[in-house]
Structure 1
Amino acid sequence: MEAIQRQRRRRIGILVGLAILLIVATFIALNFGRYSLSLADVRQTFHLLLRGQAATIPREHYLVIANIRLPRLSANICIGAALAVSGASFQALFENPMASPNVLGVNHGASLGAALAIISYASNQVTILAAFVMGLLAVGVTFAVSRLFRMQRTLALLLAGMVIGSLFQAALSYVKLIADVENALPEITYWLMGSFSSITWQRVNMILIPMLIGFVIIFGQAKALNLLTLGEEKAQTLGIHLRWTQGLLILAATLLTASSVAVTGMIGWIGLVVPHICRLIIGQDYRYLLPCSALFGAIFMVCIDTVARSWAQTEIPIGILTALIGAPIFFSLLIGGKSDGFNR
């Protein structure tokens, strides 16, 4: 009993430490960018904002912090947490530590929706909505097609996701083929590489509700996720309504992923790598793994995006950096024997 209490205190301590690290990383990130700000400038700006004296803040400082960096960092935190949590959820759902948020084709669907909106010269808001709706549609089609397969449910979903994802990818390739090479094609290509460069408070507000719904559902099903890692048969014998629970969790994880992809484009590896790192830090218990993944994913995204917008004169697409960093980390976990799956 005492050992359990020690482990619980250790896990809570880790979560508190990650929360503090996220606050520190966010505050430091406010100083970086093309317009240089010192720690003193940021501290003074927040001090005046909290005192209700916004009018006394230098105009450049207010615009950079309140209108550019704060919405961007808010999106970093939300999307980093969302991708990591959805990745952890899919890994439990499919009893496969290699599962990622794209396993059901949501990224391909969202990409096709955005590409269709771009070649139609739609507004940014319409592009986001199209990406979000097509991402949900791709998962819905995957779910429907999986019912036609006479095999284990999770395997059917995985195979259906591969089929539907390939079809949406083919459609995306055709859209790129017919796109205007001067305007639409470069925009589609840049969108597919992922970026936070166009984030505004309006875009952040657009994803808050679907993300909130997704987080509430998944965190509320933490115990069910623990049981699902034991396998479908054991989970059912322990009282899990398999079809209902899987459907609910897939919907929640898809909301998180589709919301993220809709506003930033394709950002890979976070949903795959972060849950693995968090399992090494805090263990397999989803009651602690989910908040750890959310916090670590948010920290990771804040740091990566800070590098993306500060490293060079031209902003580096975030998807390139997550791949450059995520792939070697995942490779090191594999060769180190740290990615063996779930404890059974």
Structure 2
Amino acid sequence: MKKKKWVLLKILFIFLPVFVFMFSIGIGRYTITPYEVVLSIIQAITKNDMGISLEIFTVVIEIRMQRVFLGAVVGAALAASGTAFQSLFRNPLVSGGILGVSSGAGFGAALSIVLYNSVFMTPVFAFSFGILAVVLSYFAGKIENTSPVITMVLGGTIIQSVFSALVSLLKYVADPNTELPAITFWLMGSLASTKSSDFLLSCIPMVVGILGLLGFRYRLNVLSMGDKEAKTLGINVVTNKLAVIVFATLATAGAVCVSGVVGWVGLIIPHVARIFVGNDNRYLLPASLSFGACFMMICDVICRTLTAGEIPLGIVTALVGGPFFIYLLKKTKGRNW
């Protein structure tokens, strides 16, 4: 890619999420102008009175900003892990949940709701079982100290099926008046019930995962060529694969434990980014981070403004992502894959 073009795209990728962030904070039942949003943020940072009413300041700083920022980080994390796995497995139809992290997290959340029904324990269980699912998938697909792509995908498919069955079992035994609705709503995804403690704890694995994947984006180009080619170029295939899987899993598990199971972000956003920058992961990962953050913030705005009640996030991402994926397929004719 030409240096001048990349500089222009880099500016776009930096400022586009900032613009969508300001736009998203202002949209809701109580409409706030971008100017008032900026003044509220300045007032919160500097502690100086900027002439903003208490109602606007409360809505911006204490209600919307945390939720919108969390949506941006979750979208970026899911998009980055999807991009990494598509390159690692050389498959355009995989996402961050290919190794079972989403189904494992879903089981962990359901188990927590049945056993404790605790707001604090649910994200902890979801994160822990999401990590466990990926570990089981990795060892299920490991053959004689190697990890072929096809066996890892098969291992992930098996573990996903097992945890999905366990989730169904928990739904069957859950209290239909309290526990079952809570499990169902969590599995559909939402950013509405996130607490400050959940936000801070979940951001740590997401940020670590994102930074780790950015650091490995050069080696992802080599790994996407195949194991034999990577070994020829001096890359330790097993170690680097494991590192990418660990960072992508941290990003996805951190996202899922606070947002619930949200599909399509890790699948469709990498393809959107490829239209702008191509398949080179040096440019593709930063582009996916930017577009993923924007996509999730826009979907969250739709969730909380389209109807009187709040629509689950997973429903909106599927309704938006599905038709758009078909459009991309027809437009590109598979050339970017």
TM-score range relative to shorter protein: over 0.9
Is residue 312 from structure 1 mapped to residue 302 from structure 2 by the alignment? Answer: no
Q: Distance in 2 between matches of 1:93 and 1:180?
A: 41
Is residue 273 from structure 1 mapped to residue 268 from structure 2 by the alignment? Answer: yes
Would you say the 8 A contact 2:117–2:179 is kept in 1? no
* CA deviation vs aligned residue, 1:55-96 (integer Å, no higher than 9, x gap): 975332222111111110111111010000000000111011
Name the residue aligned to 1:8: 3
Name which of 270, 275, 283 aligns with 2:278. Answer: 283
C-alpha deviation, 1:153, in angstroms: 0.9
Amino acid at match of 1:202: S
C-alpha deviation, 1:151, in angstroms: 8.9
Is residue 293 from structure 1 mapped to residue 284 from structure 2 by the alignment? Answer: no
Is residue 230 from structure 1 mapped to residue 221 from structure 2 by the alignment? Answer: no
Is residue 157 from structure 1 mapped to residue 152 from structure 2 by the alignment? Answer: yes
Q: How does 1:238-249 map to 2 (within 5 A)?
A: 238-249=233-244
Name the residue aligned to 1:257: 252
Amino acid at match of 1:43: V
* CA deviation vs aligned residue, 1:244-270 (integer Å, no higher than 9, x gap): 000010010000001111001010001
Q: Aligned pairs, how many?
A: 337
C-alpha deviation, 1:8, in angstroms: 2.4
Name which of 199, 202, 221 aligns with 2:197. Answer: 202
CA 1:283–1:213: 2 relative to 1, 3 Å: same
Q: Distance in 1 between matches of 2:321 and 2:21?
A: 21
Amino acid at match of 2:323: P
C-alpha deviation, 1:121, in angstroms: 3.1
Where structure 2 has 5 or more consecutive residues not aligned to the other structure, the ranges are none
Would you say the 8 A contact 2:40–2:57 is kept in 1? yes
* CA deviation vs aligned residue, 1:40-65 (integer Å, no higher than 9, x gap): 43233234334422697533222211
CA 1:227–1:29: 2 relative to 1, 3 Å: same
Name the residue aligned to 1:49: 44
User: TM-score w.r.t. structure 2 length?
Assistant: 0.95
Would you say the 8 A contact 1:71–1:200 is kept in 2? no
CA 1:240–1:25: 2 relative to 1, 3 Å: same
Name the residue aligned to 2:181: 186
Q: Distance in 2 between matches of 1:121 and 1:270?
A: 30
Is residue 38 from structure 1 mapped to residue 33 from structure 2 by the alignment? Answer: yes
User: TM-score w.r.t. structure 1 length?
Assistant: 0.93
Amino acid at match of 2:264: W
Q: Distance in 1 between matches of 2:190 and 2:113?
A: 16
CA 1:40–1:278: 2 relative to 1, 3 Å: closer
Where structure 1 has 5 or more consecutive residues not aligned to the other structure, the ranges are none
Would you say the 8 A contact 1:72–1:200 is kept in 2? no
Would you say the 8 A contact 2:79–2:265 is kept in 1? yes
CA 1:151–1:259: 2 relative to 1, 3 Å: closer
Would you say the 8 A contact 2:40–2:61 is kept in 1? no
Would you say the 8 A contact 1:149–1:156 is kept in 2? no
CA 1:67–1:150: 2 relative to 1, 3 Å: same
Name which of 17, 36, 44 aligns with 2:12. Answer: 17
C-alpha deviation, 1:273, in angstroms: 0.3
Structure 1 runs, 4 residues or longer, greater than 4 Å off: 54-57, 148-152
Name the residue aligned to 1:322: 317
Is residue 215 from structure 1 mapped to residue 215 from structure 2 by the alignment? Answer: no
Secondary structure class of the residue paired with 2:93: coil
CA 1:341–1:46: 2 relative to 1, 3 Å: closer
Secondary structure class of the residue paired with 1:300: helix
Name which of 314, 323, 330 aligns with 1:335. Answer: 330
Q: Distance in 2 between matches of 1:9 and 1:201?
A: 41
Name the residue aligned to 1:135: 130
* CA deviation vs aligned residue, 1:210-229 (integer Å, no higher than 9, x gap): 12221221111111101112
CA 1:205–1:234: 2 relative to 1, 3 Å: same
Amino acid at match of 1:203: D
C-alpha deviation, 1:119, in angstroms: 1.0
Percent identity between the two aligned chains: 36
* CA deviation vs aligned residue, 1:136-189 (integer Å, no higher than 9, x gap): 000001111112589971111000111111000000000000111001101111
C-alpha deviation, 1:18, in angstroms: 2.5
